Amino acid sequence: MLNNTVSLLSWDQETYMPEAAVDYRAEMMSFHTMRSHRLVKSKEMFHWLAAAEDDIKTKKELRNLEELRYSVDRACCIPQKLVKEESLLIPRAKASWVKARAQGDFLLFVQDLEKIIKISRQKAECWGYDQEPYDALLGTYERDVSSVQLDKMFARLKPKIEVIAQQAVTKSSSNKLQKLPGKYPVHEQQRFNESVARSIGFDYQRGRIDSTAHPFCTRLGPKDIRLTTRYDESDFTSSLFGVLHEAGHGLYEQGLPVEDFGLPSGAAVSLGIHESQSRLWENHVGRSLSFWQKWFPTACECFPALRKVQFDDFMQYIWRAKYSSIRVESDEVTYDLHILLRFKIERALINGELKVNDIDAYWNESFEKSFGFKPKNAAQGCLQDIHWSMGLFGYFATYTLGNLNAAQLFQQAIKDKTIAKEVNLAEYGGLLQWLKKEVHQHGCLLSPNRLMAQATGSKTEETAYLKHLNLRYSRGL
């Protein structure tokens, strides 16, 4: 209840809260966060858990208790003082990040970022790790991988993605349609997005879509899933892909067993699996030919400006690739290059190999090596993402894990002939049922690797993803 209260306070802050309310909101969030932490660390919790562990009757109870024990043990490692310090620092750090980004001045963010990294390193020490501090932070989001494993996997991926990206960028530069013509009014986008979201199975009785600066998905209760997107009146696909991405998260949350809400068996297992659901609906579904064969005519009805556009040109526009400085605006094929950069930098920061003062220069230099140019300023560079201001170190890598998992799951799902046939007609009922059965319904009962192995025959690998990128971006299928 306390954690869901914090989620509502946070959702409201991002969507509707008046500007001047921010200080008191930070106090309220800290108040509930502290109490939640205090309860988890309480003697009662200790006794309840011990008593339950002495009385395990089913495999499900065993797994639930293992996961609860893991969370409780992790919470118990962190002193109350540190929780308080962090919960009060983050709203301030977020504010200084917003200011620094608006002015493109990294120096305005340096002090708070240093404090956040210090707290993150302290937390890593509290939790402990085998090889390096960054491992401990990764464990918050993804427990089945170590930094070294990720590093090796990313090292294998990088040159292959660079080749595909290079070809795709060159090909896109000669696209007939470089920009959509005309204007796409927000309320028409909302209508169109709602039709799409409903058609892939998002349940509006148990959810809604609002508008925010940064799209996200959050769960405020067993039957209360909130998505957000943002609108660009010159391009309706921007808000649509936001909705498809967040609805992917939302379908996962809506697919978790409602009766297990509050238990590990009723919660999402990891960010790498969560992101697989969002990327699957955004890219494998939403950027597919068959999806647009169905939805392009409807889009033309909603948006008169689109009627001038040829379908083939539109698809090339959807599949365009371009080296750009901003991660969230980047295309499917260059996306992971952004992630790989962040993984390298934040790992070095947490492991004490890079100083906060050197981030800006190091970012620009590394970015140039991958993308061939330097960001215009820090707002287009190391200040672009909100994550660090919120203390979310270890989070970025899960985006690429999500891409790998998405491809692997999707390719497995369409091995079923009925699902494949439906997907070709842009009908996704069977696909959603398959995802519910293989992913959603397990909650945390299967670890990410077990889940992937059970669903697809192997744990997370890069093969399926590279095959997908190659088909769509090298061979243009």
C-alpha span between 296 and 449 (Å, rounded):
37
Q: How many C-beta atoms lie closer than 10 Å to residue 27's C-beta? A: 11
Nearer to a copy of itself, 22 or 177 (CB): 22
- Lay out the site mask for a copy of itself across 2-41 (x = CB under 8 A, - = otherwise): --xx--xx--x---xxxxxx-xxx-xx--xx---------
Nearer to a copy of itself, 23 or 125 (CB): 23
Nearer to a copy of itself, 262 or 297 (CB): 262
88 is a site residue for a copy of itself (CB under 8 A) = no
φ, ψ (nearest 5 deg) of residue 146 = -110, 165
Q: How many C-beta atoms lie closer than 10 Å to residue 473's C-beta? A: 23
CB 246 within 8 Å of CB 215: yes
Q: Give the three-class secondary structure for 104.
A: coil
What is the smallest separation between the CB atom of 6 and a copy of itself, expressed in angstroms? Answer: 10
C-alpha span between 297 and 144 (Å, rounded):
44
Element (H, E) at 164: helix 147-173
374 is a site residue for a copy of itself (CB under 8 A) = no
Q: Which of 92, 171, 223, 230 binds a copy of itself (CB under 8 A)?
A: 223
Structure token digits, residue 332:
């499917």
What is the smallest separation between the CB atom of 2 and a copy of itself, expressed in angstroms? Answer: 9
Listed ranges 103-111, 217-225, 277-285, 448-456: which one lies at the site for a copy of itself (CB under 8 A): 217-225
Write down the catalytic residue from 246, 332, 346, 438: 246
- Lay out the site mask for a copy of itself across 230-269 (x = CB under 8 A, - = otherwise): -------------------------------x--------
| Residues sharing a CB contact under 8 Å with residue 320, sequence separation 6 or more, in sequence order | 172, 175, 178, 331
Structure token digits, residue 427:
């009908």
Q: How many C-beta atoms lie closer than 10 Å to residue 99's C-beta? A: 12
What is the smallest separation between the CB atom of 35 and a copy of itself, expressed in angstroms? Answer: 9
46 is a site residue for a copy of itself (CB under 8 A) = no
C-alpha span between 316 and 91 (Å, rounded):
41
Structure token digits, residue 99:
């200011």
C-alpha span between 291 and 323 (Å, rounded):
26
Number of shown-chain residues binding a copy of itself (CB under 8 A) = 33
Per the annotation, the verdict on 162 as an active-site residue is no
Q: Which residues pair with 226 in a beta bridge?
A: 208, 218
Nearer to a copy of itself, 253 or 346 (CB): 253
What is the smallest separation between the CB atom of 212 and a copy of itself, expressed in angstroms? Answer: 13
Catalytic residues: 246
Question: Which residues sit at the interface with a copy of itself, rule CB under 8 A?
Answer: 1, 4-5, 8-9, 12, 16-21, 23-25, 27-28, 31-32, 203-208, 210, 220-225, 261
